[in-house]
Amino acid sequence: MNAHIKLSIIIIFLISACRKEPVDKNNSTSNQSHNLSLTLTDAKQFINQLATDSSTALAKIKIDWELATTTTVRDGNKWTISLPGQPIYQGYKQGYRELVILRNNETQQPEAKILEIIPDAIYLQKNHTASTSDFTGRVFEYDLNYKLTGGRLYSDGKAIGRIQQFSSAQQSREPGQGLKDLNPFSGTQGKTMRMMAIETCIWMQDSYTDANGDFTVHSFQVCSTTYFDDGGGGGYYDGVGSGNSGSSSGGGGGTTGTSSPPTPSNLPGEEKNAVSPREMMECFSNIPSANAAFVVRVYVVEPLPGTSFNVGANSFGHVAISLSKTSGQTSITQTVGFYPTGTGLEKLSSKSQIIDNGDMEYNMSATYYVTAESFQKVIDFVSNPSKNYHFTDYNCTAFVYGAGQVGGIPMPDPTTQIGLAGPGGAGFAKTPAGMASALREQKAKNPNLDINEGGGRVPGSHGPCNIK
């Protein structure tokens, strides 16, 4: 697959807010040996004395001091307060935001910034909690007028890249870094940025809407072999995926540095009734195989059509397999999909079921003309599906690809990167977005292939037949 589609961010499933709980305000004591310690009273006084023109964002945000927690940083402590409002990433509200107050290392005066923290969807669903020790995701940093000032990209608790603003002029001054291939973008307030790692690996484009409602498009670079460490910093990121000890923090919210994931969203087509795969496949025996034509089709519902995102308007997306057998004027078509049976978080790993996917809308399809022998092998595979479903290890895409492999059908490998590359490496899985990207790549290499990128609606299935 092309490197540009190997973007993390899969999901399969919708991420909503991670909230902090109130903690005992007596926890405000910090190590007195640090010369930059800040009391809660100092923090409140600093915020209350801010000039209006330097804190326009806070005028629109209610600060609940009951949610204030303190964490030890290099030279003192910081205060973190969970704020209402959520960023919109890949079309959905996800993650959370915080106000962080601490003393500046050089001036020793209090200062504050707003952090928008977006855990990686796959990381959060796989681990069921987000913790500082292994936080994987993005942290965006804003000043109190909600101007983007930077941020970091984390993988497995390590900073692997940074987010920073850049202009078109800066972009043109960096030859050989791939920036000239990207169009400069800016949001409604002129926010333009890129994510940058120590080594040149791969440049991507992405966008999200911050919790203040401003749309931001940014370019970023990710490297899986090294990670960024600025050696100093102001302490805003300490505890946000850093693995530091102490009460609290950031990587996923919650007073012990953890948070629970939200309930996964519905998968396309899962509301329909389950069917017996054997009874669906039995119908093909009613048509003689001599002189018959055999066709296998793959239908893809993309999470966010036209992108490599693994989560989007269509949730995790879906891949269905369709079999057609025609002899003379008689033709039978059956289209089915592989689904979980669980609800809520149990949906991520549960017993499986087969659902009739006839009449389903799709974004992409591929048609393969096969032999009777190949067709029968696919029938046998679909008739005996795996009894277990796992959202990354064995899902609808893996099921369809497995059927193609058994039948010797040249379906492209839909494996794509999930999670963010960094220390420990990124994960990989067969996903609907991966299948769509692989089909596009296949079509680009051979325009004569029967691959439809225009979308449409799947024909209705024949339905189950009684097994004799």
CB atoms within 10 A of CB 105: 15
What is the C-alpha separation between 8 and 122, in angstroms, rounded?
9
Its pTM stands at 0.61
Mind giving me the DSSP string for 184-213? ----TT--EEEEE-SS--EEEEEEEE-TTS
Q: Under a CB-based contact definition with an 8 Å cutoff, are residues 15 and 119 in contact?
A: yes
Q: Tell me the sheet residues that pair with 293.
A: 326
What is the spatial order of strands in the sheet that 192-196 belongs to? 69-73, 76-83, 96-103, 110-119, 137-142, 148-155, 158-165, 192-196, 215-222, 202-209, 88-89, 92-93
Residue 433 tokens, joined? 């977005």
Q: Count H helices, E strands: the chain?
A: 7, 24
For residues 325-345, give the mean pLDDT.
92
Q: Which residues contact 236 (CB under 8 A, 6 or more apart)?
A: 78, 100, 102, 113, 115, 141
Locate the domains of the chain by residue range: 17-222, 274-457
Rounded to 5°, angle at Cα 394 from 391 and 399: 120
Q: Under a CB-based contact definition with an 8 Å cutoff, are residues 193 and 164 in contact?
A: yes
What is the C-alpha separation between 397 and 413, in angstroms, rounded?
10
Given this model, what pLDDT does residue 130 score? 66
For 396-440, the pLDDT digits (tens) are 999 999 999 999 999 999 998 776 655 555 578 899 999 999 999
What is the C-alpha separation between 450 and 460, in angstroms, rounded?
20
For 136-192, the pLDDT digits (tens) are 888 888 899 988 888 887 877 777 777 766 555 544 444 433 332 222 222 223 344
For 283-321, the pLDDT digits (tens) are 999 999 999 999 999 999 998 788 777 777 788 899 999
Q: Under a CB-based contact definition with an 8 Å cutoff, are residues 67 and 96 in contact?
A: no
Q: Under a CB-based contact definition with an 8 Å cutoff, are residues 269 and 428 in contact?
A: no
Given this model, what pLDDT does residue 148 score? 82
What is the C-alpha separation between 43 and 234, in angstroms, rounded?
16
Residue 16 tokens, joined? 């909503």
CB atoms within 10 A of CB 167: 12
pLDDT surpasses 80 at 14:
no
Check residue 303 and report its DSSP letter: S
Parallel, antiparallel or unpaired: strands 361-362 and 388-390: unpaired
What is the C-alpha separation between 389 and 404, in angstroms, rounded?
18
State residue 94 phi and psi, 5-degree precision. -160, 155
Residue 48 tokens, joined? 């209350």
Q: Tell me the sheet residues that pair with 192.
A: 217
What is the C-alpha separation between 340 and 396, in angstroms, rounded?
9
Q: How far apart are the first and last CA of the chain?
A: 45
Give the residue with greater pLDDT, 391 vs 385.
385
Given this model, what pLDDT does residue 128 score? 67
Q: Tell me the sheet residues that pair with 319.
A: 300
Torsion, Cα 12 115 240 252, to 10 degrees, reads -40
CA 71 from chain centre, in angstroms, equals: 29
What is the C-alpha separation between 112 and 166, in angstroms, rounded?
22
- Indicate the pLDDT class of residue 231, thresholds 50, 70 and 90: very low
